[in-house]
Amino acid sequence: MTIQDRTLQNFNILHFQTDLLTWYSHNKRDLPWRSNQDPYTVWVSEIMLQQTKVDTVIPFYYRFLEKFPTVYALASAEEQEVLKAWEGLGYYSRARNLQHAVREVVEQYDGKVPDDPKELEGLKGIGSYTKGAILSIAYNKPEPAVDGNVMRVFSRLLNLEDDIAQPKTKKLFESIIREVISHEDPSSFNQAIMDLGATICTPKSPACMLCPVQEHCAAFELGVQEHLPIKSKAKKNKVMPYVALLLTNEQGEIAIEQRPEDGLLANLWQFPMVPVQDMDLELVEAWFLANYGMKIRLGNKQGNLKHVFSHLTWKIEIFEAECVQNSADRPEVRFVSKEELSTYPFPVSHQKMMQYL
DNA sequence: AATGCGGGGGC
DNA sequence: GCCCCAGCATT
């Protein structure tokens, strides 16, 4: 007898499926990516929805598919165009991995999104969740798609106290879902759990009195639903102080630079940033000369900006500056007009600086 | 298993 | 402030 069999021994699978799917058929959310089963558009939606709320995704989803309606359109686009369409959505490696994977689909799979688990998981940006979502939603295969919703809902249904921050816990839930998923309608089953988690079985103050599967819920029976799921704390982030420069040349053009192709905000553009200790402004001009080969004159302070990422915080002082002498020739640094700025993908933090121009 | 990777919204 | 959100890649 396996662990999940013991876990499920008092769980009425068929009754649960019926209650869940009946509720879903009458209460499912009307979402743009539910209008068809096109594997490409399902794929795009699932990538955008990673760690991102439905309401945030919707306008990006429409704009993205208007610009890149097919795998061929996305495969043949410039990466900068794709990043521009992703601008503001965050986790930008999702966009670059998606395009990389779509190009592989065009070249290796004749433009058809694979319906094979191994082939799907081999594509950049597709992990266990997204693989299961595409297989179940686009191809009606009974594969688990375990995300935060699924772990929360089933932690409560089965009163499981496993730490959902740990990778092995996700595997446990995948084996559980394989036991309980509907083989008649796996697409609706997976999406029903997500809708339930988003609207009823919410992280705080779950609406148990409205829940269609309340009678199946061990946590509700014990009154412990508010204490589940168990999740260990993330470590707190670190503050990084910077001076950002609104740096202009004699033509009134403004300096921007492209970030490295790896790491935070990879390949996006920004105004030059100087790391500072204790906001020691004396060193900014010298640091810039040493690192950019550009003589600048620091001007007036324009404002402050605090930007919080999931793992660090930028604390930025914004200064005007003039380029006095430019003996550098770095391709990632450009002087552009204000009008041209809108053609480059910028992180939100640097979009906020544009008000000072 | 642990860490890096965005940005927004709820409380 | 902290937590969460239709997670994945890398180490």
Per residue in A227-273, pLDDT tens? 999 999 888 889 999 999 999 999 999 999 999 999 999 999 999 99
CA–C1' gap, A299 and C9, in angstroms: 41
CA A347, C1' B7: Å apart? 10
A216 touches strand C (CB under 7 A): no
Q: Which bases of chain C are under 7 A from a protein CB atom? A: 2-9
| DSSP label of A259 | P
Q: Which nucleotide across the nucleic acid strands is nearest to A352, CA versus C1'?
A: B7
CA distance A1 to A241: 56
Distance measured from the CA of protein residue A304 to the C1' of nucleotide C6, in angstroms = 35
Confidence of residue A7 (pLDDT cuts 50, 70, 90): confident
pLDDT in tens, A115-125: 999 999 999 99
Give residue-wise pLDDT tens across range A326-349.
877 787 899 999 999 999 999 999
Q: What CA–CA distances, in Å, run from A238 to A23, A78, A271, A277, A323?
A: 44, 34, 22, 14, 32
Confidence bin at A3 (pLDDT 50/70/90): low
The pLDDT of residue A300: 95
Cα separation, A58 vs A53, whole angstroms: 9
Q: Is the CB of A310 under 7 A from strand C?
A: yes
Q: Which residue is nearest to nucleotide C3 (CA to C1')?
A: A203
Please say if the pLDDT value at position A195 is more than 90.
yes
Strand C at less than 7 A from CB of A152: yes
Average pLDDT over chain A reads: 95
Identify the residue whose tokens are 């779509």.
A102
- pLDDT band, residue A277 (cuts 50/70/90): confident
Distance from CA(A168) to C1'(C8), angstroms, rounded? 15
Domains and CATH numbers, chain A: 3-227 (1.10.340.30), 238-356 (3.90.79.10)
**Section A203-219 average pLDDT:** 96
Closest nucleotide (C1' vs CA) to A346 is: B6
Q: What is the pLDDT of residues A40-89, one digit of tens each?
A: 999 999 999 999 999 999 999 999 999 999 999 999 999 999 999 999 99
Q: A88 versus A5: which is more confidently predicted? A: A88
Distance A303 CA to C5 C1' (A): 31
pLDDT (0 to 100) of residue A101: 98
- Tokens coding A34: 């539910």
Just list the catalytic residues of A: 46
Higher pLDDT, A2 or A82: A82
Q: Return the closest nucleotide (C1') to the Cα of A133.
A: C6
Give the C-alpha separation, A55 to A351, whole Å. Answer: 21
